[in-house]
Structure 1
């Protein structure tokens, strides 16, 4: 038992060191979001080389808590005023989610002959845990769904920071000007936020590990009880852990399957990215918000990855996080309803064309 724990600990340590090294290389190269993207790319290359990697579930939960705390730290009185411009973006986000799903659904079916169920679940932009649960329930091709979803998220993290940085819009003033808080304020924020997040998780609040710390921390900041954002000494390890975590999704996927599906998944990624950019552009015109910030909020990736990328790119994390949480909650509600309407509510036996 002790030997197995020792081996597991070595694998986890090696994974995080690989991620940190990748982040350091990206930082040295001057690439955007270096600790997140660099950790992901380095860990993915290690997986491809046959290196065993692992990120424990508790580390994932800690990152969710950290993201929630970070969102709450970014909320100010000015944020509340800017919320008046968010409804138009939320409406366009709902439209864009439908369009992104429809475009990929049609592509997977028409071009590659995938079955309706597999094409539908592979094209859903986010809420991966819910997607996989209902994909299995409706007898979709789970390896295809997993590869399509994982490839899209991988290239979003690798390429979207570069695309947004080249827009030349600059950092959001509210984020760029906020200094880290005093150590006592940080300790209070972490302690209260962790308690709130764990309680929300216990009572099965959707995205509770992230949502509860965000709300509590926002209240602490708005009331003047605490001040400042979280320091990089907390954020950078979170970036590295999340980057490693994304890459570990490829550990259970055979290289033959990945190579065979790479071209289809890359085209689907490009279609999803272009569709989300179009929706974000319309939303930015309606709301007056920066296009890059809106594009990140609309990006068809994971809730946690897109939100933490807002910090790495000096975007408004409150806006990006709010829209990503709205999309996550909306998909979590809509997926079982839409899947039941399209494919029936009973457990399916097999996808009709996979």
Structure 2
């Protein structure tokens, strides 16, 4: 394939150049999360084109740490207030999402060639990286789980960004115009980087899924809300983090993985779109009973990755605390219920167990 003939240095240069063109091109049209979507789309195209380059795991985790600090600026001790005040509705939405994902996984396994554990973990609406990391321990084909999870991330990120653009209208342009790319920095910038690094150091020791994002978010929120230090995250650093996350997702879409999943791709797409529609209906319902706007409810229930939802939320005027509280609560619930759901689907989907597609 054409890209295989290009040296790794040439592939990196092409990836960077095309991502800059598409990312800033989408931003010119005031599309939220343009600097995530542009690199993600370029990564998908290059991955399918045979690119051999990959984003190092350390760079991806560092990007999640920076994103965690960005989230921390919007968090406060009052994050639990909306959850506790309306806990029956919050729990109802959470249970409905879990049941919808479980039904989606059951139908996917029942009417496709996917083995049970693979369909179950691939359909789980939690943090994509956490689901992929856990899937292998429960007999799932990690390649297909990763493909399903990141395919849904791609769909959800694109749909959420478009919905946000429609909902924001001219406000998106005002927000983009107000960006200061290279502000003056001081010692607080170094302190912010130190907090971002804690996720890489502590998450493996504490065995916290998505810890590279969640640990800096919680630690940074405590430091920021207590007044000890104001976090400093310049736009250029966020842009780098967005690009690295987008490339990590996009470059996973290799030709070999797509060919492996081709037999069940139609069922996967129906499953993803169906789950997105169910979550969208729940978001609309939440706006009728809770004092929350539609965009906040949509992102809070959206079955995408925690990091991509946070990036989109940061570029829109939504209730970040509500969105992240709902997303984090769902991730933690999936981590506890996922193994049981995978076993149930494997046993009751009505098919003999398989280890992988051939």
Task: Bin the TM-score by the shorter chain.
Answer: 0.7 to 0.9
CA 1:77 to 1:339, structure 2 compared with 1: closer, same or farther past 3 Å? closer
Q: Does 1:300 align with 2:314?
A: no
The yes-or-no answer on 1:151 pairing with 2:172 is no
Q: Secondary structure at the match of 1:166?
A: helix
Name the structure 1 match of 2:57.
Answer: 57
Query: C-alpha distance in 1, partners of 2:56/2:170?
Result: 35
Following superposition, the deviation at residue 211 of structure 1 comes to: 2.2
Alpha-carbon distance between aligned partners in 2 of 1:134 and 1:223, rounded to the nearest angstrom: 35
CA distance in 1, matches of 2:179, 2:16: 29
Aligned residue number for residue 194 of structure 1: 197
> What is the RMSD computed on CA atoms of the aligned residues?
3.6
Listed as ranges, the gaps of 5+ residues in structure 1 are 1-6
Whether 1:283 and 2:286 are equivalent positions in the alignment is yes
Aligned length: 343
Distance 2:250 2:223 in 1: 35
Tell me if structure 1 keeps the 8 A contact 2:44–2:250: yes
Moved more, 238-247 or 307-316: 307-316
Q: Does 1:123 align with 2:123?
A: yes
Give the superposition deviation at 1:255: 4.2
Alignment partners' CA distance in 2, 1:178 and 1:97: 36
Counterpart mapping for 1:99-138 below 5 A: 99-109=99-109, 111-112=111-112, 114-129=114-129, 131-132=131-132, 135-138=135-138
CA distance, structure 2, for counterparts of residue 196 and residue 135 of structure 1: 22
Asked whether the 8 Å contact 1:197–1:211 carries over to 2, the reply is no
Deviations 1:304-345 (A, max 9, x none): 22222211334333332222222222111111233345557x
The counterpart of 1:220, out of the listed 219, 223, 228, is 223
Corresponding position of 2:41: 41
CA distance 1:124–1:171, shift in 2 (3 Å): farther
**1:97 to partner: Cα distance:** 2.5
Deviations 1:110-166 (A, max 9, x none): 544655444323322134455446654554455544433232111112222102332
SS class of match (1:121): helix
* CA contact 1:161–1:313 (8 Å) conserved in 2: no
**Are the structure 2 counterparts of residues 139 and 148 from structure 1 closer, same or farther at C-alpha, using a change threshold of 3 Å?**
same
Q: Which of 269, 273, 287 lines up with 1:270 in the alignment? A: 273
Structure 1 position 234 matched with structure 2 position 233: no
Distance 2:201 2:94 in 1: 29
Partner deviation per Cα, 1:225-265 (whole Å, 9 max, x = no partner): 23366221221111111111111211263443454443322
Report the counterpart of residue 27 of structure 2 in structure 1: 27
